[in-house]
Amino acid sequence: MTVHPTSPNFKDNASRALADGQLQRALGNVKKGFIEKRQLAADRLPEFDALRDSARDIKNHTLAHLDLYIERYEEKVTASGGHVHFARDAEEAKEIILRICAEEGARTVTKGKSMIAEEIGLNAHLEAAGITPVETDLGEYIIQLRNEMPSHIIAPAVHLNATQVETDFRRVHTHLDAQRDLSEPVQLLTEARAVLRDRFLAADVGITGANFLVAETGSSIIVTNEGNGDLTQMLPKTHIVLASIEKLVPTLEDVSQILRVLARSATGQDMSVYTTFSTGPRREEDVDGPENYHVVILDNGRSAMLGTSFEEMLRCIRCGACMNHCPVYHAVGGHAYGWVYPGPMGAVLTPTLIGVDKGGHLPNASTFCGRCESVCPVRIPLPKLMRHWREREFERHLSPATMRSGLKFWGYFAKRPTLYRMSTRLGMGVLGWLGRRKGRFASLPFAGGWTKYRDFPAPQGGTFQERWRRERRDGASRNSTRVDAR
Amino acid sequence: MTSAREDILSNIRRSLGVRGDERTRRAIVDERIERSPKGLIPARGQVSGKERIELFIAQAHAAQATVSHVADASEAPAAIADYLRSHNLPATLRMGDDPRLQDMPWGETTLEISRGVSDGSDLNGLSHAFGGVAETGTLVMVSGPDNPSTLNFLPDNHIVMVQAKDLQGDFEEVWSRIRFAYGKGEMPRTVNYITGPSRSGDIEQTILLGAHGPRRLHIVLVGE
């Protein structure tokens, strides 16, 4: 596994993804499941949209006072017998974790699903030091067997079909009967459960991420459906929490507000199965739980986002709704984005974390349809932030020459309204006439990238500006000026 | 060389354009933590008495838990034995030291009872919940010798007793009770919110029960 980004090759990645039949079949599951379930869950709760406002406000308040909440949180963790470590970057975080593992003489560590661990490339670092990391989330376990990165932040193996998982299990679980039946998904789940149960019980250290850190109590919170995160953190002698600075929330009440939008946005559940609040190590009277409790707080470029337009991205609670609703993600899946975070949130976050020179392609992979923003539980203006990146990419002359000259060409007309109106009307007229029989084009000069995967519809009626003017005029009497932007 | 801690805090402060010692900012943070304002509470859970019990049961069912409702704790052992029998499960049960569980008339059943933490080999575990949340059918479990946290996750079948009087409408009421029991700003080592049995959708986005935690969650609700 590597964290070496392939984001600069987004276009090639995307082309490969579009031609990958297995992937395209698997991606059908994203469209099918997530969207409808989220909508049903939102409809069941009349206050859902108001709670999104509340979640946004809590996050904004916390970010504006982040230094103070981190200090409060640290005090509380220490008072409960835990240890807080600070890491400026990935290297420091990996060193801290390795040092703790070494102090414990750890040979195997179990891991709950953590995107931050992927971000810093923790597994490779542990392996290099002779420690075996075992991913325990079913999806993460599957992709670890395949030496792949997650393709989705809450469904890491969403790019795979059951038959592929079966092949991997037969390849790796060689101690089991080769004749066993694995044709049903439930048989795959049962096998993974049995294999991983032994690993849970044998682990020396458990590493989890955190969905939230509560300043009031010094608690770390994980939200899971499988229960793997809980077994990871309660069974080994030492529990290490890896969390980035923006996971802070002030109080238990604040986290309760955000929990009401998290699972609904992610999986369409009212609540995930397990929401666990951990505060410090095992107490004197306790009969189970970890003896040592460490929290590693990672910055890795986030503090520099505060006070900029990208601060809003730090509200993200990693629900995955933006990618579940993204037509680009539906088409190419998560691996095409080339790093840890895919979809619209990845398109905004990746250039921040690995640099616009490497991640600058990703914000271009958007149709600006606005669905990501419309479902974001903390109302991050993702299209606006992607536009910011495009502007920066252009300003820094990182965009390709064809695109720059294309924009210049368009700019020439756009700055001359009469000429623009005339030429668009003319262009539309010609295209409409040429396509009048079929109503669509299977190929067009200069638009091969479009027509390779779908037909280009022949224009009908007037230009956008004509329609806009007409609807403004007609709408004045109906008091409606809405134009369908799609 | 400055420490990572100092660097991160001063970077945050530089980005925010603050120093960190501003009295008003500190007062805002102190007050937020002290007062812990509740925010927006959905109307769904704002019911009491019989309605609250019915909502809790309906929401627990929606999360694929099963529920038996008994009038008194003395009826619980028989109800649990019935549950195990009707699901063809062995007549064994592992539980912690909670006196509310210990004091029940287990002698009236043929269940083989064992006590203490789970080592991962127990099929059936029994715990007593701190409370429940009607809004979502969620159980609230706190760690300690009375109800070891391992029993919430390792057994195949988890049976949880909860008192009807301990059902809250919403999560915020649970936190009030936790603060009353443990002190403001203090927490038990672990609080588990449990809503239904363990599941995974990681294979082709088809939800399957019994991923790493219990395959079944059965709630025994006690009292009116």
In sequence order, what DSSP letters do the residues of B86-101 get, joined into one string? HTT--SEEEE---HHH
- pLDDT score of A458 more than 90: no
pLDDT tens-place string over residues B49-97: 999 999 999 999 999 999 999 999 999 999 999 999 999 999 999 999 9
pLDDT band at A1 (very low <50, low <70, confident <90, very high): very low
Check if B79 contacts A (Cβ < 8 Å). Answer: no
> Which residues are CB-contacts of B144 (< 8 A; sequence separation ≥ 6)?
A283, A285, A286, A287, B96, B188, B189
Question: Which residues does chain A have within 8 Å of residue B31's beta carbon, measured at their own beta carbons?
Answer: none
Check if B8 contacts A (Cβ < 8 Å). Answer: yes
Of residues A330 and A1, the one with the higher pLDDT is A330
Pairwise CA distance, residues B178 & B156, whole Å? 28
- pLDDT score of A461 more than 90: no
Percent of chain A at pLDDT above 70?
Answer: 97
Residues in a beta bridge with A212: A221
- pLDDT score of A42 more than 50: yes
CA atoms within 13 A on the CB side of A378: 26
How near does any CA of chain B get to the CA of A162, in Å? 6
Which of B173, B190, B194 is best to mutate for the A interface (most A CBs within 10 A)? Answer: B190
Cβ distance of A68 and B20 shorter than 8 Å: yes
> Which residues are CB-contacts of A168 (< 8 A; sequence separation ≥ 6)?
A142, A145, A146
How near does any CA of chain B get to the CA of A451, in Å? 30
Which residue among B11, B17, B202 sits closest to A304, beta carbon to beta carbon?
B11
In this prediction, residue B91 carries a pLDDT of: 97
Structure tokens at A451: 């027509």
Q: Which parts of chain B have pLDDT scores under 70?
A: 1
DSSP secondary structure string, A40-79?
A: HHHHH-TTHHHHHHHHHHHHHHHHHTHHHHHHHHHHHHHH
Pairwise CA distance, residues A418 & B105, whole Å? 90
Residues in a beta bridge with A207: A111, A240
Cβ distance of B26 and A68 shorter than 8 Å: yes
Pairwise CA distance, residues B98 & B22, whole Å? 48
Q: What is the mean pLDDT of residues A195-220?
A: 97
Phi, psi of A375 (to 5 degrees): -110, -5
- pLDDT score of A481 more than 50: no
pLDDT tens-place string over residues A375-418: 999 999 999 999 999 888 888 877 778 888 888 888 898 899 89
Check if B15 contacts A (Cβ < 8 Å). Answer: yes
- Measuring CA to CA, which residue among A72, A315, A25, A287 is closest to residue B148? A287
Q: What is the mean pLDDT of residues A452-458?
A: 82
Count of CB atoms within 10 A of residue A71's CB? 16
- The answer to whether B99 touches B86, Cβ cutoff 8 Å, is no
Cβ distance of A226 and B199 shorter than 8 Å: yes
Size of interface A-B (CB pairs under 8 A): 266
Cβ distance of A230 and B38 shorter than 8 Å: no
Question: Which residues does chain A have within 8 Å of residue B63's beta carbon, measured at their own beta carbons?
Answer: 269-271, 273
Query: Which residue from B minimizes the CA distance to A231?
Result: B153
pLDDT tens-place string over residues A152-187: 999 999 999 999 999 999 999 999 999 999 999 999
- The answer to whether A261 touches A212, Cβ cutoff 8 Å, is no
Q: Helix (H, G, I), strand (E, B), or coil: what is residue A444? A: coil
Structure tokens at B171: 């999560």
pLDDT band at A437 (very low <50, low <70, confident <90, very high): confident
Pairwise CA distance, residues A257 & A55, whole Å? 6
Structure tokens at A121: 């490339």
pLDDT tens-place string over residues A48-88: 999 999 999 999 999 999 999 999 999 999 999 999 999 99
Tell me the whole-structure pTM to 2 decimals. 0.92
State ipTM.
0.98
